[in-house]
Amino acid sequence: MLRRRLADTSTKIGVGANRAAVGSSMLQKYGHVDPCDAFCREKLACNRVASGKSAKIGVAILDDGMQHRSLLRDVEIVMVNGLTPWGNTHFIPRGPMREPLSALTRADIVVIHHADLACEAQLETIARTVQDSGTTCSVFFSKLAPSHIFEVHQPLQRLSLNVLDGMIVLCVSAIGCPDAFIHTVREIGPLNVDRLDFSDHHFFNDYDLELIQERVRQLVDQHNKQTVVLVTEKDYDRDPDFLRMLGLKVWVLSSSLQIMPLKEQGEDELLRKLKDIITATRHVVQP
**Residue 209, in any domain of the structure:** yes
**Contact, 186 vs 146, CB < 8 A?**
no
**Residue 22, in any domain of the structure:** yes
Q: Which of 43, 66, 89 is the last residue of a domain?
A: 66
Q: Given a cut of 80, is residue 135 above it in pLDDT?
A: yes
**Residue 119, in any domain of the structure:** no
What is the pLDDT at residue 53? Answer: 53
Q: Give the whole-angstrom CA distance, residue 73 versus residue 79.
A: 16
Q: Which of 66, 96, 120 is the last residue of a domain?
A: 66
Q: Given a cut of 90, is residue 35 above it in pLDDT?
A: no
Write out pLDDT tens, residues 92-101: 999 889 999 9
What is the pLDDT at residue 52? Answer: 46
3-class DSSP state of 13: coil
**Residue 81, in any domain of the structure:** no
Residues 156-175: what's their mean pLDDT?
Answer: 95
Residues 6+ apart with CB under 8 A from 164: 149, 185, 188, 189, 190, 228, 230
Q: Given a cut of 70, is residue 42 above it in pLDDT?
A: no
Residues 17-42: what's their mean pLDDT?
Answer: 81
Strand blocks (E) in the chain: 77-81, 109-113, 138-151, 168-173, 192-197, 227-232, 250-260
**Residue 79, in any domain of the structure:** no
Return the number of other C-beta atoms located less than 10 Å from residue 19's C-beta: 17
What is the pLDDT at residue 34? Answer: 79
Could you list the residue range(s) of the whole structural domain that residue 220 is in?
A: 146-257
Q: Which of 38, 66, 94 is the last residue of a domain?
A: 66
Q: What is the pTM of this model?
A: 0.84
**pLDDT band at residue 287 using 50, 70 and 90 as cut-offs:** very low
**Co-location of 151 and 61 in the same domain:** no
What is the pLDDT at residue 38? Answer: 60
**Residue 37, in any domain of the structure:** yes
- Into how many domains does the chain fold? 2
**Residue 94, in any domain of the structure:** no
**Residue 59, in any domain of the structure:** yes
**pLDDT band at residue 284 using 50, 70 and 90 as cut-offs:** very low
Q: Give the whole-angstrom CA distance, residue 102 versus residue 84.
A: 18
CATH number for the domain spanning 157: value is 3.40.50
Residues 21-49: what's their mean pLDDT?
Answer: 72
What is the pLDDT at residue 46? Answer: 47
Q: How far is CA 31 from CA 12, 45, 192, in A?
A: 12, 19, 52
